[in-house]
Homo-oligomer: A and B are copies of this chain.
Amino acid sequence: MKDTFARAENLLARIDQLAAISEDETGVTRTFGTPAFLRGSALVRSWFEQAGLATRVDSIGNVRGRLESRHPVAKTLVIASHIDTVVNAGKYDGPLGVLLGLDLLENLLAAKTGLPFHVELIAFSDEEGVRFHTTYLGSKVVAGSFDQTLLTKADAQGVTLTEALRTMGGDPAALAQDAIPADQWLGYFEAHIEQGPVLWENRIPVALVTAIAGQQRVELTWRGMAGHAGTVPMDMRQDALAGAAEFVLAVEQFGLRHKAELVATVGKLDVRGAASNVIPGDVVCSLDLRSADAACLGTAYEELRSLASQIAESRRLTLHWNPIQQTAPAVCDAHLNELLAQAIGEAGHAVVPLVSGAGHDAVPVSAVAPATMLFVRCYKGISHNPLENVELADVAAAIDVSDRFLHLLSTHYQTHHSA
């Protein structure tokens, strides 16, 4: 039996091999359905097959390998993450969870440890949504919530999703058959880099994810009166940038006051027709609000909307408040989380419950099955960037915790589900 460090080294070597396959030479880019993506997918499939899993690529391009239990009527635990990337990505966002899952199953097979439930290891084909501007294509098919109207959606080159699927060897007509029926799910487990700084700053290798934050995105347009910076007196101005700046600070203050429940960000701010000698008359900015608590998210949205209106009114600006996107929070399963917390504790680590501010495949899955996630510390919290990195010891810790989690889940399943 290899120790967890040797397994972690093997896992990281595979991540390097996969990361060498990219649309461009300098970074890691494998967006959904591209030739580089298909080469990466074929490599992952070959690893699944070599491990002895019953492997296939489904109609949306997910690589799926099954380890069947000896109990044919058993339920299925899905272990998964994604193998598509953003443009100029890091190596670990996605592949870490897939290849950690593969390592877990290889370890079980080597030890000839049977499980009382089936396991399906899935490398989702599209989580990032770069190509078709729609996230979770892969996991939505598996969760049975794929929106058929997306098939006519075109990418930047005008290729529709239907055409892209055919090029990949997928079958748009078979998408519904690739769902795992709700009654067959035992649960869902995904390991993923944190993509944030909490574990890094606190020097803790792994964390338990309690929820994936819901999100509200808004585009705000502030209109005042453009004017000459030299000739319009201070008290006759309708400065759209000053209004937007007041909002930026109000959002920050609101976020700090409610920092336990949410994050609030103005990431974009564009002064239209900007010049250093022109008083800004037209400013567009964004608002990104995230919280694990749907009620809190709704309240925050309304309060910030009201604050923005007050700012606009007091400054004689007009404000256009345009909601862009709204996703509900996804809560992880209490029972699976209890087992995962137990596994983390047994492995000797502090149990840190975290809310994921980034979206994950667990979002669509949690609508049909109990889901949990394990976060792994990454370098300074940096992600979606070539600087993305994880440490060997943290990967070993994640392997150790995941082994224990599978064991605890087996024991619990046998106690409660055995005939």
Task: Point out residues on A near B: beta carbons under 8 Å.
Answer: 194-198, 201, 213, 215, 217, 219, 227-236, 239, 241-242, 244-246, 248-249, 252, 255-256, 259, 263-271, 274-280, 286-288, 290, 324, 356-359, 381, 383-384
B248 lies within 8 A of A234 (CB): no
**20 A-B pairs (CB sep. < 8 Å):** A195-B231, A196-B227, A197-B233, A227-B381, A229-B288, A229-B290, A229-B357, A230-B356, A233-B259, A241-B267, A245-B245, A249-B249, A265-B276, A265-B279, A268-B274, A269-B269, A269-B271, A270-B274, A276-B287, A276-B324
A186 to B351, CA, bound (A): 86
A345 to B124, CA, bound (A): 82
Q: Which listed residue, B241, B265, B268, touches A248 by the CB 8 Å rule?
A: B241
Give the chain B neighbours of A276 by CB distance below 8 A.
217, 219, 265, 267-268, 286-288, 324
Given A196-B228, A213-B230, is A235 in contact with B248 using a C-beta cutoff of 8 Å? Answer: no
Chain B residue with Cβ nearest A269: B271
Given A235-B256, A271-B269, is A230 in contact with B263 using a C-beta cutoff of 8 Å? Answer: yes
**Chain A at the B interface: mostly helix, strand, loop or mixed?**
mixed
Given A197-B232, A231-B357, A234-B259, is A265 in contact with B277 using a C-beta cutoff of 8 Å? Answer: yes
A252 to B240, CA, bound (A): 12
Q: How many copies does the complex hold?
A: 2
A378 → chain B closest CB, angstroms? 10
Given A228-B195, A230-B215, A256-B235, is A267 in contact with B279 using a C-beta cutoff of 8 Å? Answer: yes
Give the chain B neighbours of A231 by CB distance below 8 A.
194-198, 356-358, 381, 383
Chain B residue with Cβ nearest A227: B381
A197 to B234, CA, bound (A): 11
Give the chain B neighbours of A357 by CB distance below 8 A.
228-232
A239 lies within 8 A of B263 (CB): no
A231 to B209, CA, bound (A): 12
Q: Which listed residue, B201, B245, B287, B290, touches A230 by the CB 8 Å rule?
A: B290
A381 lies within 8 A of B232 (CB): yes
B239 lies within 8 A of A252 (CB): yes
